[in-house]
Amino acid sequence: MKPTDHQAARRRYAAVAGNEQALAVNPAARVVFVYERIIHWVGQAIVLSERGEPADEAVDQALKVMAMGLRPWLDHQQGGVLAQQLDAMYERMERQLLLSRLQRDPQPLRQVLGTLLTLQSAWKQLAERDVNPAPALQK
């Protein structure tokens, strides 16, 4: 990621996070925060979908947070295989979110939620130990 791209990613993250203080946390804690936001929106989409109500807005918000808060921070040059695997996983989750919206089916949402909870748990462990996940992520 070029320096200007990294600065743009920081601005997008601040918009997603809703405050500048979130930028001061360690990279793993930042990822945990973003997962929490995505989990919130996917959970909302599941509830709406199970009620038979449109979940488009909640799905769109989850996609927006994922696109702005996760993918721009991946460093494919430094992160190698780990960054590639995370990117592929994020792409699969995005496809499942879109599929759930098109089919009005909560099952893909549940699958995404399960993946997100697993990933969030792993990142929480890193954040609690204040482990720097670099080089997979840009600081």
Position 24 confidence tier, pLDDT thresholds 50, 70, 90: low
pLDDT score of 4: 47
Q: What is the CATH number of domain 3-128?
A: 1.20.120.340
pLDDT score of 120: 95
Q: For tokens 């460093």, name the residue.
A: 75
> Tell me: the pLDDT tens digits for 63-90?
999 999 998 888 888 888 989 999 999 9
> Tell me: the pLDDT tens digits for 111-132?
999 999 999 999 898 888 866 6
- Cα–Cα distance measured from residue 41 to residue 71, given in angstroms and rounded to the nearest whole number: 17
Q: Return mean pLDDT, the chain.
A: 83
Token pair for 102:
């098109």
Nearest to 15 by CA among 76, 93, 67, 74: 67
pLDDT score of 73: 84
CA distances from 41 to 37, 65, 66, 70, 86 (A): 6, 9, 11, 15, 20
Q: Which of 23-27, 46-50, 69-73 has the lowest mean pLDDT?
A: 23-27
pLDDT score of 59: 97
Token pair for 81:
């295989």
CA distances from 130 to 25, 27, 29, 127, 134 (A): 10, 9, 8, 5, 12
pLDDT score of 127: 83
The dihedrals phi and psi of 74, each to the nearest 5 degrees, come to: -70, 135
pLDDT score of 139: 45
- Taking the CA atoms of residue 71, residue 73, residue 77 and residue 80 in that order, the dihedral angle to the nearest 10 degrees is -70
pLDDT score of 136: 54
Angle (CA) 2-93-130 rounded to 5° is 60
β-sheet bridge partners, residue 74: 137
Is the per-residue pLDDT at 19 higher than 50? Answer: no
